[in-house]
Protein backbone atom coordinates (compact mmCIF):
# COMPACT_ATOMS: atom_id res chain seq x y z
CA UNK A 1 0.00 0.00 0.00
CA UNK A 2 1.41 3.40 -0.90
CA UNK A 3 1.54 5.84 1.98
CA UNK A 4 0.80 9.44 1.19
CA UNK A 5 2.99 12.17 2.64
CA UNK A 6 2.37 12.90 6.30
CA UNK A 7 0.49 15.98 7.42
CA UNK A 8 2.68 16.06 10.52
CA UNK A 9 4.60 19.35 10.58
CA UNK A 10 8.33 19.31 9.92
CA UNK A 11 10.20 19.10 13.20
CA UNK A 12 7.29 17.42 14.98
CA UNK A 13 8.18 14.49 17.17
CA UNK A 14 5.27 12.36 15.92
CA UNK A 15 6.07 9.75 13.28
CA UNK A 16 3.86 9.40 10.18
CA UNK A 17 1.15 6.76 10.37
CA UNK A 18 -0.50 5.62 13.57
CA UNK A 19 0.70 3.80 16.63
CA UNK A 20 -1.73 2.31 19.12
CA UNK A 21 -0.51 1.50 22.61
CA UNK A 22 -2.78 -0.30 25.05
CA UNK A 23 -2.75 -0.05 28.82
CA UNK A 24 -4.99 -1.30 31.61
CA UNK A 25 -7.01 0.76 34.04
CA UNK A 26 -9.55 -0.21 36.70
CA UNK A 27 -12.56 -0.34 34.35
CA UNK A 28 -10.93 -1.64 31.18
CA UNK A 29 -8.40 -0.54 28.59
CA UNK A 30 -6.84 2.71 27.51
CA UNK A 31 -5.81 2.91 23.85
CA UNK A 32 -3.28 5.68 23.28
CA UNK A 33 -3.32 6.85 19.67
CA UNK A 34 -0.32 8.66 18.22
CA UNK A 35 -0.09 10.03 14.68
CA UNK A 36 -2.73 10.02 11.95
CA UNK A 37 -5.87 7.90 11.75
CA UNK A 38 -6.90 7.35 8.14
CA UNK A 39 -7.47 4.55 5.64
CA UNK A 40 -3.76 3.69 5.58
CA UNK A 41 -3.57 3.26 9.35
CA UNK A 42 -7.01 1.88 10.10
CA UNK A 43 -5.77 -1.68 10.68
CA UNK A 44 -3.75 -0.61 13.73
CA UNK A 45 -6.81 0.94 15.36
CA UNK A 46 -9.06 -2.01 14.54
CA UNK A 47 -6.57 -4.50 15.99
CA UNK A 48 -6.34 -2.49 19.22
CA UNK A 49 -10.11 -2.17 19.48
CA UNK A 50 -10.61 -5.90 18.84
CA UNK A 51 -8.25 -6.78 21.70
CA UNK A 52 -9.80 -4.21 24.06
CA UNK A 53 -13.39 -5.21 23.29
CA UNK A 54 -12.66 -8.91 23.73
CA UNK A 55 -13.17 -8.34 27.44
CA UNK A 56 -16.90 -8.32 28.26
CA UNK A 57 -18.60 -5.29 29.85
CA UNK A 58 -15.51 -3.12 29.61
CA UNK A 59 -14.80 0.57 29.16
CA UNK A 60 -12.34 1.48 26.42
CA UNK A 61 -10.92 4.97 26.67
CA UNK A 62 -9.27 6.18 23.48
CA UNK A 63 -6.67 8.79 24.41
CA UNK A 64 -6.48 11.22 21.48
CA UNK A 65 -3.96 13.68 22.94
CA UNK A 66 -1.36 12.71 20.32
CA UNK A 67 -3.80 12.06 17.47
CA UNK A 68 -2.88 14.66 14.87
CA UNK A 69 -5.53 13.83 12.27
CA UNK A 70 -8.62 11.66 11.79
CA UNK A 71 -10.43 11.29 8.48
CA UNK A 72 -13.90 9.93 7.72
CA UNK A 73 -12.72 6.31 7.63
CA UNK A 74 -11.25 6.71 11.12
CA UNK A 75 -14.45 8.30 12.40
CA UNK A 76 -16.53 5.57 10.79
CA UNK A 77 -14.40 2.89 12.48
CA UNK A 78 -14.82 4.60 15.85
CA UNK A 79 -18.60 4.80 15.41
CA UNK A 80 -18.81 1.14 14.33
CA UNK A 81 -16.72 0.14 17.35
CA UNK A 82 -19.08 2.14 19.57
CA UNK A 83 -22.05 0.23 18.17
CA UNK A 84 -20.27 -3.07 18.72
CA UNK A 85 -19.33 -2.09 22.26
CA UNK A 86 -22.90 -1.11 23.11
CA UNK A 87 -24.32 -4.42 21.84
CA UNK A 88 -21.77 -6.27 23.98
CA UNK A 89 -22.46 -4.26 27.15
CA UNK A 90 -19.27 -2.19 26.87
CA UNK A 91 -18.62 1.44 26.07
CA UNK A 92 -16.04 3.61 24.32
CA UNK A 93 -15.01 7.04 25.52
CA UNK A 94 -12.63 9.55 23.97
CA UNK A 95 -10.08 11.51 25.98
CA UNK A 96 -8.22 14.74 25.26
CA UNK A 97 -8.92 15.22 21.54
CA UNK A 98 -6.78 17.91 19.94
CA UNK A 99 -8.64 20.94 18.52
CA UNK A 100 -8.60 19.64 14.91
CA UNK A 101 -9.99 16.24 15.92
CA UNK A 102 -12.49 17.78 18.33
CA UNK A 103 -13.72 20.11 15.61
CA UNK A 104 -14.30 17.15 13.26
CA UNK A 105 -16.20 15.35 16.05
CA UNK A 106 -18.34 18.45 16.65
CA UNK A 107 -19.08 19.07 12.96
CA UNK A 108 -20.20 15.48 12.45
CA UNK A 109 -22.24 15.26 15.66
CA UNK A 110 -19.97 12.53 17.02
CA UNK A 111 -19.58 14.41 20.30
CA UNK A 112 -23.12 13.23 21.00
CA UNK A 113 -22.04 9.61 20.45
CA UNK A 114 -18.96 9.56 22.67
CA UNK A 115 -18.35 10.79 26.18
CA UNK A 116 -15.35 13.14 25.97
CA UNK A 117 -12.92 13.09 28.92
CA UNK A 118 -10.68 16.00 29.85
CA UNK A 119 -7.89 13.63 30.85
CA UNK A 120 -6.91 9.97 30.74
CA UNK A 121 -8.41 7.60 33.30
CA UNK A 122 -6.74 7.44 36.69
For the chain, the domain total comes to: 1
Q: How confident is the model at residue 1 (pLDDT cuts 50, 70, 90)?
A: very low
Say if CB 60 and CB 93 are below 8 A apart: yes
Residue 101 has pLDDT above 50, yes or no: yes
Tell the burial category of 36 from Cβ atoms under 10 Å away from its Cβ (0-12, 13-18, 19+).
Answer: buried
In a domain, 13, yes or no: no
Provide mean pLDDT across the span 27-44. Answer: 96
Domain of residue 82, residue span: 18-115
In a domain, 2, yes or no: no
Provide mean pLDDT across the span 5-34. Answer: 77
In a domain, 121, yes or no: no
Q: How confident is the model at residue 120 (pLDDT cuts 50, 70, 90)?
A: confident
Residue 32 has pLDDT above 70, yes or no: yes
**Per-residue pLDDT at 121:** 83
In a domain, 51, yes or no: yes
Domain CATH for 43: 3.30.750.24
In a domain, 73, yes or no: yes
In a domain, 9, yes or no: no
Residue 102 has pLDDT above 90, yes or no: yes
Amino acid sequence: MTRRPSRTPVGSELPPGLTVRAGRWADGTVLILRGELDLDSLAELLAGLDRALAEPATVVVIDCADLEFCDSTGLSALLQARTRAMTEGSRIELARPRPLVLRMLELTGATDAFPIREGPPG
